[in-house]
Amino acid sequence: MLDWNDPIAEFQAEETTRNETAQTKKAKASLQKSTIEKSNGEDLNKPSGQMAAEPVRVEDKRIINGEGDINQLAPFKYPWAWNFFLNANKNHWTPLDINMTKDVQDYHQRLTTEEKHVYENVLAYLTTSDILAMRNVGLAVMEKMTAPELQIYQARQVYEEALHTWTYQHCIESIGIDQSEIYNRYRVVPQIHQKIELANQKLNSVLRPDIDLKNPDELDNFIHAYLFFAGVFEGCWFYNGFSPIFALQRRGLMTGTAEQLQYIMRDEVLHCAFGIRVVREIVKEENLTLDTQRLRDMWDQCEAAEIGYANYILRDPILGYSAEDHIEQFRFIANRRAKQLNIEEPFPGAQNQLSWLDEQANMRKEKNFFETRVTEYQTGAALSWD
């Protein structure tokens, strides 16, 4: 079952497809080569005017630093990556599928000043974050993958990050919030800027197209940057970023926006799970050792940024939700991500402060959203929760 506690469990069974013996693989490759030679009526080992390329061997594929043909999708070495792509396409939607009429009324007639402050600043942070995520996947990560089944899912992920950005913009536009003002908050509000700036510091060094991942220092920097992106930026900050809106939804407020975020959360479950899986695979394939002090510093920096952010957006607590709740939930989720990454928990003893979250995110739905299998998703406005 794909959930936030163990989001990659569904795909573990597929590991068995990769356990063929080297001898069997070589036999298959030899048979394939022989078949090609016979069909062409010539020996590929003999010189000719236009020498055909050698067949792609599955065992030669690598997540990074592979030297095979990046244009040949199958046979798969990483079938789990292809399944991520297939499952992602079952959650196809647009923000226009959700009615925002009630949110317009709630914002202008029902929300308190403190609740408006929370709502606006959550959107201000998310709008910039998803653009940053889109650029990171498309420019820093995807191009460095050397197995096409991974690139294809990441192409879908780039689209989804753009879709999420459209969703936040649609909410802002529907309600009538000043777009110029709210989109600039990440630049002028120090507590929002701190999170964005920290992400830029972690990720900008891998946005360069000239990175040589066969260089040990470059590879070490890349894996730590990608771990931050998958484990913290998407795995903690996005997850925790939606919680204040779900707290409003819990009281019957801004339910259209909350439903938009439910669709986004479905995408983010896969984004986080995929990134964590890739990090673990690269560590194994490249025989890497993660820097424990560097990880500790990362968690401390990210916690400090989240504390500042929480104390700003919740400087005045709203009914049922406070800065202390938000901060403790960050620590709890950080421990989950660390466990999934096979690294030490950064905040031992952190408590699940928002025990209502899973249920509330599924108000009026019969399934626990965070425990629902991705394979049960359907497409578009006809998405069924039954």
Nearest CA to 334 out of 346, 325, 323, 349 is that of: 346
Which residues lie across from 318 on neighbouring strands? 321
Q: Of the candidates 165, 156, 360, 347, which has an alpha carbon nearest to the alpha carbon of residue 248?
A: 360
Sign of the alpha-carbon dihedral angle for 215, 220, 224, 230: positive
Give CA torsion, residues 82, 83, 87, 92, to 10 deg. Answer: 0
Query: Which positions make up the binding site for Fe cation?
Result: 130, 161, 164, 234, 268, 271
Active site residue 119: no
Which among 107, 168, 186, 321 is annotated as catalytic? Answer: 168
**Contact call for residues 64 and 146 (beta carbons, < 8 A):** yes
Dist CA 237 CA 199 (whole Å): 11
For residue 142, give both structure tokens.
């995807």
- Residues at the annotated binding site? 130, 161, 164, 234, 268, 271
What is the rounded CA–CA span in Å between residue 66 and residue 63? 7
Q: Are 81 and 89 in contact (CB under 8 A)?
A: no
Rounded Cα–Cα distance for residues 329 and 351 (Å):
7
Question: Under 8 Å CB-to-CB from 362, ≥6 apart: which residues?
Answer: 262, 368, 369, 385
- CA of 94: how far to CAs of 166, 168, 186, 253, 261, in Å? 9, 11, 25, 21, 12
Active site residues: 168
